[in-house]
A and B are shown apart, each in its own frame.
Chain A
Amino acid sequence: GENVEQHPSTLSVQEGDSAVIKCTYSDSASNYFPWYKQELGKRPQLIIDIRSNVGEKKDQRIAVTLNKTAKHFSLHITETQPEDSAVYFCAASNQAGTALIFGKGTTLSVSS
């Protein structure tokens, strides 16, 4: 089955710096890669996603890149702000769309 590895597990940056979180997946047939943000005590919420026919997608300060050959995808957050502090999860769906497999999460801390 699909396996998703996520690094780093914790990331501390200064306000205004960039943050990068990387994920690798095992199933070459995976075709959907979302990123979720979970604030303390809250539910996970989608922040951006990318499909296998696209190499990069941007939404304001957030971007995701996908390298299908290497089977890895990354989340880039520019000009970080304290409110970006949260746990971020990457995920990959299997080809059939019957399962969304999550990485173990990255705790991002942005200090002002």
Chain B
Amino acid sequence: NAGVTQTPKFQVLKTGQSMTLQCAQDMNHEYMSWYRQDPGMGLRLIHYSVGAGITDQGEVPNGYNVSRSTTEDFPLRLLSAAPSQTSVYFCASSYRSARDTEAFFGQGTRLTVV
């Protein structure tokens, strides 16, 4: 049972480049989310999805897009990378919603934008 898998683990981008962070879960969870973690700022919600075809914005959505074409996958797209997007990104999933049960996190992606 792999749980939540994120790729890549590390990435360096130049300002203005675009990229997609991949997230996949094999637990048949309906709810998936993306967080960014910055020193002293905790975990801030970027986007979330309550099921295939349904996405919505979290606390800090600007500069990011998401889609949810299948239950398993929830990719995060950076449209035009900026140094302010340097962060550690975590994908998480839980059974039905953010209040039902434990949120399982992926191993994180450390992104540096130069």
Q: Which residues of A contact B (CB under 8 A)?
A: 1, 6, 9, 31-32, 34, 42-46, 49, 89, 91, 93-105
Contact = CB atoms under 8 A, between A and B. Distances in A.
Nearest to A97: B97
A43 B107 contact: yes
B43 interface: yes
Contacts of B108: 43
The 5 closest A-B pairs by CB, nearest first: A97-B97, A97-B99, A93-B99, A32-B99, A104-B42
Given A102-B44, A103-B42, A46 B103 contact: yes
B45 interface: yes
B99 A101 contact: no
B97 A1 contact: no
Contact of B43 (A9, A49, A89): A89
A37 B50 CA distance: 25
B98 A94 contact: yes
A98 to B, nearest CB: 6
Dominant SS among interface residues on chain A: loop
Contacts of B106: 43
28 contacts: A1-B59, A31-B99, A32-B98, A32-B100, A34-B102, A34-B103, A43-B107, A43-B108, A44-B43, A45-B105, A46-B102, A93-B98, A95-B99, A97-B31, A97-B96, A97-B99, A97-B100, A98-B98, A99-B45, A99-B48, A99-B58, A99-B98, A100-B45, A100-B98, A100-B99, A102-B42, A102-B43, A103-B42
B33 interface: yes
B26 interface: no
Given A93-B99, A98-B50, A98-B97, A105 B107 contact: no
Contacts of B100: 32, 97
Interface string B64-77: 00000000000000
Contacts of B90: 43-44
